[in-house]
A = this chain, B = another copy of it.
Amino acid sequence: MNFTIRAATLEDCKDVSRMIKELAEYEKISHQMKTTERDLEQDGFSKNPFFQGIIAEVPEHLKSRDGHTKVGYSLYFYSYSSFKGRAVYMEDLYVMPEFRGNGIGKALMAKVSKRGLDAGCSQLNFTVMNWNKSSLDFYRKQGCLDVTSDLGYHCMRCEDDALEHLAQREL
């Protein structure tokens, strides 16, 4: 399939926001989604951006049933491993269902990997839900390690009231 992969711009925030909603519906966590198109504009495209984006786009004649030409995205940011040094974290990798199986996901992930390597990173990290077998299989096939199953890493989170409460203990 004919598609292009490129860095996301401010003008892509509307489509990225739409696709985050689609992903949230797929993962049955729409009720948890708080980010808006405006948040993405502010957080990704101001002076010290919190993330970078990559867009997958198809030509007009291949557009989706709903009329979209931006059919996939990835959000990533630079991170750090105290043992291994510079790393890149892939927050999302999404391709609209009707465009899957064409190598678009792999191309998005390749671009994120290339950006990481170019910045001196030796690791790409991300999370997957345990019920998402097709994604887990896909990533394993790309040579990825499941550090939860294989090494015992647990992801932890502190948010909302618990986070406020913790911060109040600051010296």
Taking beta carbons and an 8 Å cutoff, which residues of A are in contact with B?
4-5, 20, 23-24, 29, 32-35, 39, 43-44, 50-51, 75, 77-86, 89, 91-92, 106-107, 109-111, 113-114, 116-117, 122-131, 136, 139, 142-149, 151-171
In the bound complex, CA of A114 to CA of B169 (Å): 9
How many copies of this protein are present in the complex?
A: 2
In the bound complex, CA of A131 to CA of B154 (Å): 10
Q: Assess the B154–A83 pair: CB atoms within 8 A.
A: no
20 A-B contacts (beta carbon < 8 Å): A35-B82, A43-B80, A50-B78, A51-B80, A77-B79, A79-B79, A81-B91, A110-B169, A111-B171, A116-B167, A123-B157, A124-B166, A127-B154, A128-B154, A128-B156, A144-B157, A145-B159, A146-B156, A148-B156, A149-B154
Q: Assess the A83–B34 pair: CB atoms within 8 A.
A: yes
